[in-house]
Structures are given as structure tokens and as C-alpha cells.
A and B are shown apart, each in its own frame.
Chain A
Amino acid sequence: MKKRKIVSALLAGTLALSMFSGCGNSSNESTNATKANTESKDKNEGTQGNTEKDSSGETVTVKWCVPVDKPKDYDAVMADLNEKLKEKINVQLDLDCIPQGEYADRMRLMSTGQEDYDLCFTSNWLNSFDENMSRQGFLAMDDLLEEYGQGIVDSMPEWLMDVSAVDGKHYAVPNQQVIARQLGVVIQKEYADKYGFDLTSLKDASDLEPFLDQIVANEPSMYPIDLRVQPWQEKDYESVVTNSVYLKKDGDDFTPVGYVDAMEEYFRKANEWYKKGYIRQDIATVTDNSADVKANRYVVSMSSYKPGWDAEMTERQGVEWISVPIEGVYVGATSGIETMTAINVNSKNPEAAMKLLNLIYTDEEIFNELLFGLEDVNYKKTGETSAEVIGENYNLAPQAWRFGNQFLAWTLPGQSDDVWEQTDKMNREAEVSRLRGFTFDSAPVQAELAQISAVVAEYKNREFTSDDVDAFINELRQKMEDAGQQKVLDEFTKQVEEWKSTK
């Protein structure tokens, strides 16, 4: 009797299982398909009718995952855009807009679950390129680039494509935007005027101190600065492997330093700034400050500088902002990795994906429709290459850097017409790292990197709140050593030696 029960339970289990898995797959596929179909069909059948049959070959849909919020009017714009895409390259775009907060998790699930998507945004900070490479999630695209992607290759400086090369093959296309790294600040104009802030470029982040002192003294309801970078580390060191390997910017040897050595000056300064009240006092418990950013509660925000930053901020934030660069423009070993687009290794239509990407990089009309939507509905042209968004509407223009070739984008009100020429010039004239072309293979030190990332997370923000910064640094140094810092540095040195001998 017992046996029988077990058997029947097992049977029921497997039955239910197959039922569930069957449902899961088919429903997923059908929703995707219907979504894409209805979007394109509605429009196609109405306006084009017969042409659908005439076009040679099957129209394939390319699913592109990007970390943006789904804009209003999405359906109307996509329908129109797809009509044009069909005409030009016989491809349909299914733009999957995933809010940035969910993006990393969603992409990880899609990739490890071997789901079918074609293009995706990847970088070193969101949907990590290294992580995807370690599970071989991206497609090597050299042949495709040669056949369908010449427009992409021609649009960028030679050293830029190298960033996605692993063992001589390319696995992603860097988005064409500001690549060279220069730090800068944006300041709310109201306060800069009020306290007479000098707008010429800053030599060092510390030059902000007098201004911040005034904010602390006179504006108690505001947070003086949102420090999103580590300026006193970046001044001297470039980060080669996140949180673990750093290289001194000037010099000609390849001796790396570890996390704590590179960060020490920053830790001391950050601690000082916190004690002086420049940094919000509850920083230790703030997990997400985006609401305060949105509400313009920060007077200054320090981040990486780019031409036209002030216009972008003003457009997004609703109050006027000005941007000031901090001296020193640099192209690191992996600069460009910050925003890239890759093809899924499980993509059913890699050719179509590359064709679409190539068009996005070269076709001004298509790219700007993707960014701005429909003329006179979503935007008004204000000049040959500039446009203005109408009201609260379809608007991906401030997100152009997530998409492809930003240099084709029409400029926004406030941005000068030559902003992209300026940016391109900044990229091409920057000092380029002597480590350019080298990519670190993290596979041999995965366990160490996991521990290091746990340690860094544990000590996050404590550089601010620690009473005794020396004790903090020593403690952290010990923890990092125990986590395997030296082993990662040794691995780096070994790989650099190999790289140098093949160069």
C-alpha cells in the first residue's frame, strides 16, 4: 500500500511538473510574441497592407533590453519606428524597458535561464560585462561586425573597440559617448550665485571647501554635497579591477597597489568632510538617496564630467544647474566599459541584431525617433540638429547614452550645438592609460574577489562615520589582506607580464 502511494504521489508530482513547466514556457513565449505582433500588426495592417507580403524574407523581431523606465506613448512611437525599421532593414524592434533598479537581477535571470533576447545594455556597474563573460553569456561579434557593422567601427576611435576584446575577440560594442574620464561637479545655480562661487575649473576637489562651508553655515535644510565618486583616489590611481587592483596614473611601471593604499587619501578626506558637515550625517543608514536627488536637496553633486552635463541636469531636475570640471582628463585601461551593448549568446537572430545596432549608430533619423518620439506630438525641432520635448511625454533623450551613438542625438535646449564635437575632442585628446588593451581574467581569483566584495560592502560609508580614521584604515587593511588582496595583485602582475610579452 505504501509503495503504491509513493508511486502515485510521484506520478502526480511529475505530471503537475510537466504541466507547470509547459505552461510557463508557452505563456512566456506567447505573451512576447503577441506583444510584438500586436505592436507591429496594428499599424502594419492598417497602413501598409500589401507591402508585408512583398518584402523579401521573414521580418524578425529583435528584443533589446535597456535599463530605462518605460516612457509614455511607447506603443505609438514603437509602431511608427517599426514601420520605418521594416522598410530600411526588415527588422522589428521590441524595446524591453526595464527600470534600472530591477535591471541587474532581471538580466541575470534571463541570461542564466538561457532566455531568448538579442541585445542588452552591459557595463561594469550594471549587468556586469565580466560576470556575463564568466558564464559565456555574450556572442563574439567580429564576423558580424565585419559584415553588418562597419558603421559602428568607423564611428569610434580605434582604441575604443578594444575594451570589449577578450582573447582577441570582441563581445560588445561600446556606446559612443563621453569615454574619457574627468571628474566634475554640478551645482544648483541659485546657490552658486548667492554665495558667489567661482566657475572656472577646479584644480582639486578640495577647492570646493569654502563654498561648502557657506552652505553648511547658511542652508541648514540642504545637504551640501552628494559625493558619488572618490576624487582623491581617482586623482592619482586608476581602477583596473573593481575594489582590488589599482595602478598609479603617472609612471611607467606596472606595479599595482591594493584597495586600501589607493583609497587612503580619500578615506581621510571623506572623514574630514563628514566631520565638517559637508556630507549628510545619516549617511550610514541611507540606503537609497534618489528621492532626495530628485527633490534637489543636494546643492552640489560630484560625479564624472561631460560637456552638456548642466543642460542635461537642468532638463531632468527642473531647476537650473551649472557644471564645473575638475582638471585632468584620462582614458583608463577599461574606459568605455561603462556603457556597452552586447548580443546574447542565445540570440536567434544575431545578424538582425547587428543590423539594427549598426543602424542605430549611423542613422540620425531612426536614432532620434527612438530618443524623442514623434515630431510635433512628442517633440518640436528647434534647429537643424536640436529639439525640444513637449511637456511630460515620450522622452528618452536624457538616456541617449544608454543606447548607442550619442553623437547623433539632437541637442537639448541649453546644450551648445557643438556639444558632441566637444565630447569627441575630449575623448580623442585625453591621456590614455598605458594599460590600454589589457583585460583582466578574473576566473582564477573568483573566491578572493567574492570575499573582497563582502569586505568592501561591510565597510561601506564607514570612512565617513568612523571616529578614528587611522584605526578604520588599519582594520580594513587587515581585513582585505585576509580576504586575499595580495593573491589578486599577484594574479594581476602575472597576467600583465604575459600580456606585455605578447604585445
Chain B
Amino acid sequence: MSIGIMSKQKNGKRKKRGSFKDNLQLLSMALPTILLLAVFNYAPMFGLVLAFKDYKVTDGIFGSPWAGFKNFEFFLKSQDAWRITRNTLGLNFLFIIVGIICGVIFALIMFEVKRARQVKVYQTISILPSFLSWVAVGYIVYALLDPTKGILNQIIEFFGGKGISWYSEPQYWPVILLISKTWQGVGLGSIIYYAALMGVDQELFEAAEIDGANKLQRTWYISLPQLVPIIIIMGLLDVGKIFRADFGLFYNVTRNVGALYPTTDVIDTYVFRALMNQGNIGMSSAVGLFQSVVCFITLMVTNSIVNKISPDNALF
């Protein structure tokens, strides 16, 4: 990003054509991403029209008869609409906050480790879970929590406690999901903060040290304020996705057990369950569109709030 700004400043007075040529290298590097976005994010947008259609194979996507807002009824009128909206927003909010806090703390700790080799080892280990699919994580959690053979219950019983049948007690699951999600994501999440810390001017720290600041003070008064812009950007990006749940997490880690739905059922799992038998793509598209619109609104609102408080840190 900073390179782009620099080149813009340099080229300000040159001819227009030149600036394009100068940026050609950078543009070509961005090309794969642009293509990917075009193919997977922009092209399918035409399909949104399906949300308002009564789809018939013979007529195709654009030829099918219009259905108005009928496809939206199923979701909005559902008795579970409140429950799944609450779960989706609440759990995602929890994930965002805890994810950021843990990521920042982890990055700060890493930053204090001065030996490059050790940093590499710690980071590799912490990133490893990100490469596991949720299906595998689901089985790991199951091995821990299985009511009869699970490790956790065996430990509880070893100390004389009574085993908990985890898969029928919904109240524990926000915490279990939070731990799984954080465990899986913290390594990757901290990298960006770590990179930002590396970019902080060393002179600041040296000056603080000479002034007699201890480690904690240096972290609190130098490292953290330097991280604030990036924290806000990451937070904003996550808020933009707050109405979309991580289907893999909520479906596999809970093993899709009905008894846990009161605290683990989110929009994506509900839609999957309700529409899997019917395969009604009109209704599925309607829910997808609804999620996108809500995400768009939440993103705009948070961004404008950030804009009011500290305009430098806003996304746009």
C-alpha cells in the first residue's frame, strides 16, 4: 500500500500514460486477485436475481417467473429467526473480539522473543491448526468430549467428578466453540500484527528505554498505539462478515447435534438444514442476499462511526 502511495506522489506531475506504465508491474501482480474476484465474486452476482424468482429448469435463471418477496418469507417468518440471528451475531462478535485480543497478545509476546529461530518455531506451531479442516477439528473435539470415552470426562471422573454429557448441554458450547475457533485462528491472525510491530521505528523503543520505561510500559505506550490502525482495519473487515457464520465450524464441531441448536444454530446451518431436503435455490439465494445486505449495512455503519471518531483509521 505504501509503495502505491509513494509512486502516486512521484508521478503526480508526469503524463498520465507514464503512471500506468510505471505501475504495470504492480498491476500485473494484482491481476490474479482481480481475476479471482471477477470470476467468483462479480460474475455470480447476476445470480442474485434468483432470490426473486420461482426457478424452473426449462426457463433458466432469467426466464423463470417472478416470485416477488415470497422466497424471503420462509426465513423472516421462521420461529427460529431470532434465535439464529442472535447466535450468529453474538458468537461472531465474540470471535472477533477474542480473536483480536489473543492475536495482539500473541504478536506482542512474539515481538519480545528476540531469537529469530525460536520465533519461527513458535509461529509455525501456532499456525499449524489453521491448516486443519473443520472436519478434522470436529473429530479432535469429539475425542475430547465424547461422553463415555472422551478424554475430558475421563479426567473429570479420575478426580472423582461426574462426567458431563457435553453433546446434550448447550450452555457449554459458546465457550467450546470460542476455544476451538481461537485455537485454530490465533496463529494466522497474529502474523499481521507481528508484521506491523516489525515496522515500528526502533528509535521509539530505544528512546523510551533511555527514559526509563520498563517492558510493560513500552508495550502499553508504544507498541499498542502503533497497532491501533491495523487492529481497526482487521476489526472492520471482520465486522463486514459478521452475518456470515463459519459453516464448517458450526456444523462439524457440534456434529450437528440437535440438542445443541439453542446456542449453536446459526444462519448458515439453519438454511442448510431447512433447505437441504427441498433444494429450493430461490429460497437459498434469498437468504444469501439477505446476509449480504445486512453485512453491507453493518460494515457501512461501523466504518462511518470510525470515521467520526478518528478519520485516519477508517477503511474508506
Q: Chain A interface (Cβ within 8 Å of chain B)?
A: 1, 4-5, 9, 12-14, 16-17, 20, 108, 111-112, 114, 128, 131, 134-137, 242, 281-282, 284-285, 287, 345-346, 446-447, 449-451, 453-454, 457-462, 465, 479, 482-483
Given A17-B43, A284-B259, A285-B142, verify A136-B58 contact (CB < 8 Å): yes
- B39 interface residue (CB < 8 Å to A): yes
Q: B72-80, B156-164, B211-219, B294-302: which one contacts chain A?
A: B72-80
Q: Closest CB of chain A to B200's CB: distance in Å? A: 32
Q: Closest CB of chain B to A426's CB: distance in Å? A: 30
* CB-nearest residue of chain B to A459: B258
Given A450-B280, A479-B79, A483-B79, verify A457-B58 contact (CB < 8 Å): no
Task: Show 16 residue pairs from A and B whose CB-CB distance is below 8 angstroms, ordered by the A residue.
Answer: A1-B19, A12-B35, A16-B38, A20-B39, A111-B57, A131-B277, A131-B279, A135-B56, A284-B257, A284-B259, A285-B142, A446-B280, A447-B74, A457-B273, A458-B265, A462-B259
Docked pose: A450 CA to B274 CA in angstroms: 5
Docked pose: A395 CA to B196 CA in angstroms: 62
B273 near A16 with CB under 8 A, answer no
Chain A neighbourhood of B273, CB < 8 A: 453-454, 457-458
Chain B neighbourhood of A284, CB < 8 A: 167-168, 257, 259
Q: Interface code B166-183, partner A: CB below 8 Å = 1, 0 otherwise? A: 011000000000000000
Chain B neighbourhood of A134, CB < 8 A: 278, 280
Chain B neighbourhood of A281, CB < 8 A: 148
Given A9-B34, A108-B279, A454-B274, verify A135-B57 contact (CB < 8 Å): yes
- B255 interface residue (CB < 8 Å to A): yes
Q: Interface code B49-61, partner A: CB below 8 Å = 1, 0 otherwise? A: 0000001111110
Chain B neighbourhood of A1, CB < 8 A: 16, 19-20
- B281 interface residue (CB < 8 Å to A): yes
* Contacting residue for B258 out of A4, A114, A137, A460, CB 8 A: A460
* CB-nearest residue of chain A to B16: A1
Chain B neighbourhood of A346, CB < 8 A: 57-58
Docked pose: A188 CA to B89 CA in angstroms: 51
Docked pose: A116 CA to B253 CA in angstroms: 37
* Contacting residue for B274 out of A14, A108, A451, A460, CB 8 A: A451
* CB-nearest residue of chain B to A125: B277
- B31 interface residue (CB < 8 Å to A): yes
Chain B neighbourhood of A13, CB < 8 A: 34-35, 37-39, 42
Q: Count contacts on B: residues with CB < 8 A to the other chain.
A: 48
Chain B neighbourhood of A446, CB < 8 A: 74, 278, 280, 283
* CB-nearest residue of chain A to B280: A446
- B90 interface residue (CB < 8 Å to A): no
Chain A neighbourhood of B281, CB < 8 A: 112, 135
Q: Closest CB of chain B to A412's CB: distance in Å? A: 34
Chain B neighbourhood of A12, CB < 8 A: 31, 34-35, 38
B77 near A285 with CB under 8 A, answer no
Chain B neighbourhood of A108, CB < 8 A: 279
Chain A neighbourhood of B79, CB < 8 A: 451, 479, 482-483
Docked pose: A479 CA to B255 CA in angstroms: 22
* Contacting residue for B277 out of A128, A137, A483, CB 8 A: A128
- B261 interface residue (CB < 8 Å to A): yes
- B268 interface residue (CB < 8 Å to A): no
Docked pose: A5 CA to B16 CA in angstroms: 11
Q: Closest CB of chain B to A128's CB: distance in Å? A: 7
| CB within 8 Å: A-B pair count | 120
B168 near A465 with CB under 8 A, answer yes
A112 near B261 with CB under 8 A, answer no
A451 near B78 with CB under 8 A, answer yes
- B256 interface residue (CB < 8 Å to A): yes
Docked pose: A6 CA to B258 CA in angstroms: 48
Given A450-B283, A458-B261, verify A285-B255 contact (CB < 8 Å): yes
Docked pose: A267 CA to B256 CA in angstroms: 21
Chain B neighbourhood of A5, CB < 8 A: 20
Chain A neighbourhood of B38, CB < 8 A: 12-14, 16-17
Docked pose: A13 CA to B259 CA in angstroms: 46
Chain B neighbourhood of A460, CB < 8 A: 258
Does more than half of chain A's interface fall in helix, strand or loop, or is it mixed? helix
- B238 interface residue (CB < 8 Å to A): no
* CB-nearest residue of chain B to A442: B278
Docked pose: A4 CA to B78 CA in angstroms: 47
* CB-nearest residue of chain A to B138: A287
Docked pose: A346 CA to B58 CA in angstroms: 7
Docked pose: A114 CA to B281 CA in angstroms: 13
Docked pose: A9 CA to B42 CA in angstroms: 12
Docked pose: A457 CA to B20 CA in angstroms: 57
A285 near B57 with CB under 8 A, answer no
Chain B neighbourhood of A114, CB < 8 A: 57, 60
Closest 6 pairs (CB-CB, A-B) = A13-B38, A447-B74, A454-B274, A482-B79, A458-B258, A450-B274
- B275 interface residue (CB < 8 Å to A): yes
* Contacting residue for A112 out of B57, B78, B255, B277, CB 8 A: B57
Chain B neighbourhood of A453, CB < 8 A: 273-274, 276-278
B257 near A285 with CB under 8 A, answer yes
- B229 interface residue (CB < 8 Å to A): no
Chain B neighbourhood of A287, CB < 8 A: 255-256
Contacts beyond the supplied A16-B35, A282-B147, A285-B142: 5 A-B pairs with Cβ under 8 Å: A4-B16, A131-B280, A284-B257, A453-B274, A460-B258
Chain B neighbourhood of A16, CB < 8 A: 35, 38-39
Most chain A CB within a 10 A radius of its CB, from B16, B43, B57, B60: B57
Chain A neighbourhood of B290, CB < 8 A: none
Docked pose: A281 CA to B256 CA in angstroms: 17
Chain B neighbourhood of A9, CB < 8 A: 34
Chain A neighbourhood of B259, CB < 8 A: 284, 462, 465
Q: Interface code B22-53, partner A: CB below 8 Å = 1, 0 otherwise? A: 00000000010011011100110000000000
- B270 interface residue (CB < 8 Å to A): yes
A131 near B278 with CB under 8 A, answer yes
Q: Closest CB of chain A to B170's CB: distance in Å? A: 12
Docked pose: A121 CA to B227 CA in angstroms: 58
Within 8 A of A (CB), among B124-165: 142, 146-148
Docked pose: A108 CA to B57 CA in angstroms: 11
Docked pose: A483 CA to B142 CA in angstroms: 32
Chain A neighbourhood of B257, CB < 8 A: 284-285
* CB-nearest residue of chain B to A10: B38
* CB-nearest residue of chain A to B277: A453
Q: Closest CB of chain A to B304's CB: distance in Å? A: 23
A345 near B57 with CB under 8 A, answer yes
Chain B neighbourhood of A479, CB < 8 A: 79
